[in-house]
């Protein structure tokens, strides 16, 4: 840690190499900057949510280390809920299949102890393959490909755990007072400017927001390759 810093400083002076070039892996040691916090409120089948997740959020998330970007997702959006006989029932903007997709996502979050590194590949796969009426087919494909137990998710769907988990997402979403989806909150803030910047080019937006040493993924202005 100190050694890295020392060597970096030496090379900066002697060879003109920047500290950022050298210390990519000395993550905690080179900076005390907080990661940029991003919370995404979405619903499984909204087209712009799918686009944002698959073309912006997931590529950016995979390109940046966790010291730079901290992602949280909340799959609920504009669903509605009511309680009958102690069980939550949901109605979703894009139909019951979307409710199923939201519950699958909620179960996957719980199943991975809410660790984005473990659930994001699965969620990205679900959003990339989701079409009306095929959530269970997508689950089958995406679970196997992303180290998520399909059996575990299926059990979560069948008993009332899944509905209870989605109810928690409902409460979190209500607190956020969203006006549309995808609804993006960065460092606790949602503004039109934040939303537009995040949707237009999440990678460069997060790089600009991050106050610590820029990771290699932020350099070179090659962010367009992430979007495409
Ligand atoms: C990541 O974000 C969540 C939700 O905003 C927050 O509770 C958590 O403390 C953050 N983690 C880090 C390491 O900043």
Is residue 203 a part of any domain in this protein?
A: yes
**Residue whose CA is closest, atom 4 of ligand 1?**
72
What is the pLDDT averaged over residues 10-30?
A: 46
Is residue 59 a part of any domain in this protein?
A: yes
Is residue 36 a part of any domain in this protein?
A: no
Weakest-pLDDT range from 2-11, 101-110, 138-147, 158-167 = 2-11
pLDDT band at 4 (very low <50, low <70, confident <90, very high): very low
Closest CA to 222 of 212, 211, 90, 207: 207
Task: Check pLDDT > 80 for residue 226.
Answer: no
Weakest-pLDDT range from 14-28, 33-47, 100-114, 116-130 = 14-28
User: For 157, how many CA atoms within 13 A lie in the half-sphere containing its CB?
Assistant: 18
Task: Check pLDDT > 50 for residue 8.
Answer: no
Q: How far apart are the first and last CA of the chain?
A: 36
Rounded Cα distance, 15 and 70, in Å: 34
Is residue 182 a part of any domain in this protein?
A: yes
Is residue 171 a part of any domain in this protein?
A: yes
221 alpha carbon – ligand 1 mean position (Å): 28
Is residue 40 a part of any domain in this protein?
A: no
- Closest approach atom of ligand 1 to CA 188: 5
Q: What is the model's pTM?
A: 0.85
CATH number, domain with residue 150: 3.40.30
Rounded Cα distance, 46 and 52, in Å: 10
Task: Check pLDDT > 50 for residue 3.
Answer: no
**Residue whose CA is closest, atom 11 of ligand 1?**
70
16 alpha carbon – ligand 1 mean position (Å): 36
Closest CA to 206 of 109, 48, 74, 67: 67
Is residue 116 a part of any domain in this protein?
A: yes
Q: What is the predicted pLDDT for the residue at 31? A: 59
79 alpha carbon – ligand 1 mean position (Å): 25
What is the pLDDT averaged over residues 66-77?
A: 97
Rounded Cα distance, 123 and 58, in Å: 9
36 alpha carbon – ligand 1 mean position (Å): 9
What is the pLDDT averaged over residues 100-113?
A: 98
Is residue 13 a part of any domain in this protein?
A: no
Q: How many domains does the chain have?
A: 1
- Ligand 1 pocket test, candidate residues 70, 71, 117, 173, most atoms within 8 A of CB: 70
What is the pLDDT averaged over residues 77-93?
A: 94
Contact status, residue 148 vs residue 112, Cβ threshold 8 Å: yes
Segment 124-183, tens digit of pLDDT: 999 999 776 799 999 999 999 999 999 999 999 999 899 999 999 999 999 999 999 999
Contact status, residue 71 vs residue 61, Cβ threshold 8 Å: yes
What is the pLDDT averaged over residues 185-194?
A: 98
Closest CA to 74 of 97, 94, 93, 49: 49
Segment 26-47, tens digit of pLDDT: 444 455 899 999 999 999 999 9
- Ligand 1 pocket test, candidate residues 31, 37, 188, 206, most atoms within 8 A of CB: 37
Protein residues whose CB sits closer than 6 Å to any atom of ligand 1: 35, 37, 39, 70, 72
Task: Check pLDDT > 80 for residue 224.
Answer: no
113 alpha carbon – ligand 1 mean position (Å): 13
Domain that holds residue 98: 52-219
Closest CA to 105 of 41, 192, 29: 41
165 alpha carbon – ligand 1 mean position (Å): 19
């Amino acid at each position: 840690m100190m050694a890295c810093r020392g060597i970096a400083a030496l090379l900066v002076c002697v060879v003109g190499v920047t500290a950022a070039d050298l210390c990519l892996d000395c993550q905690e040691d080179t900076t005390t900057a907080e990661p940029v916090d991003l919370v995404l409120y979405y619903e499984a089948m909204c087209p712009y949510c799918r686009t944002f997740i698959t073309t912006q959020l997931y590529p950016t998330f995979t390109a940046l280390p966790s010291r730079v970007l901290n992602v949280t997702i909340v799959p609920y959006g504009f669903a509605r809920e009511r309680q009958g006989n102690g069980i939550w029932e949901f109605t979703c903007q894009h139909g019951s299949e979307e409710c199923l997709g939201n519950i699958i996502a909620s179960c996957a979050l719980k199943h991975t102890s809410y660790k984005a590194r473990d659930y994001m590949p699965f969620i990205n796969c679900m959003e990339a393959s989701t079409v009306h009426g095929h959530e269970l087919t997508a689950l089958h494909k995406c679970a196997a490909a992303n180290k998520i137990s399909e059996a575990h998710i299926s059990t979560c769907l069948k008993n009332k755990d899944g509905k209870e988990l989605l109810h928690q997402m409902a409460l979190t979403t209500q607190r956020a007072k969203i006006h549309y989806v995808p609804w993006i909150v960065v460092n606790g803030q949602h503004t039109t400017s934040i939303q537009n910047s995040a949707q237009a080019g999440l990678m460069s937006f997060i790089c600009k927001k991050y106050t610590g040493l820029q990771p290699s993924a932020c350099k070179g202005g090659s962010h367009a390759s992430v979007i495409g």
